[in-house]
Amino acid sequence: MHNKIILILGMVFFSLGLIAGLIGAGFAFSRWHFSQNSFPVTATITEMHRGFEGSHRVYIQYDANGQAINTHLNWSSSNMRVRGTIELLVSNQDPYRVRSAGIVGWLGVIIPLSLALPFGGIGTGFLIYTMRKHRLHQWLLYYGTPVWADVQGTEANWSIQVNGRPATVLVATYKNMRFTSRAINNSELIHVGDRVKVLIHPDNANKYTFDFMNECQREPLD
**Closest to 196 measured CA to CA, from 168, 172, 219:** 172
159 domain-assigned: yes
**pTM recorded for the entire structure:** 0.63
61 domain-assigned: yes
In the listed set 91, 113, 135, which residue is the last one of a domain according to the structure?
113
Asked if the model's pLDDT at residue 119 lies above 90, the reply is yes
124 domain-assigned: no
129 domain-assigned: no
Do residues 83 and 149 share a domain?
A: no
Domain range for 78: 2-113
Pairwise CA distance, residues 116 & 103, whole Å: 19
Pairwise CA distance, residues 217 & 196, whole Å: 7
72 domain-assigned: yes
Do residues 89 and 13 share a domain?
A: yes
Give me the residues paired with residue 42 across strands.
87
Tally the domains of the chain. 2
133 domain-assigned: no
**Mean pLDDT across 36-43:** 92
22 domain-assigned: yes
Residue 189: the pLDDT is: 62
Containing H/E element for 76?
none
Do residues 167 and 69 share a domain?
A: no
8 A C-beta contact, residue 24 and residue 137: no
Asked if the model's pLDDT at residue 140 lies above 70, the reply is yes
**Which region among 34-38, 81-85, 115-119, 213-217 has the lowest average model confidence (pLDDT)?**
213-217
107 domain-assigned: yes
Pairwise CA distance, residues 137 & 182, whole Å: 11
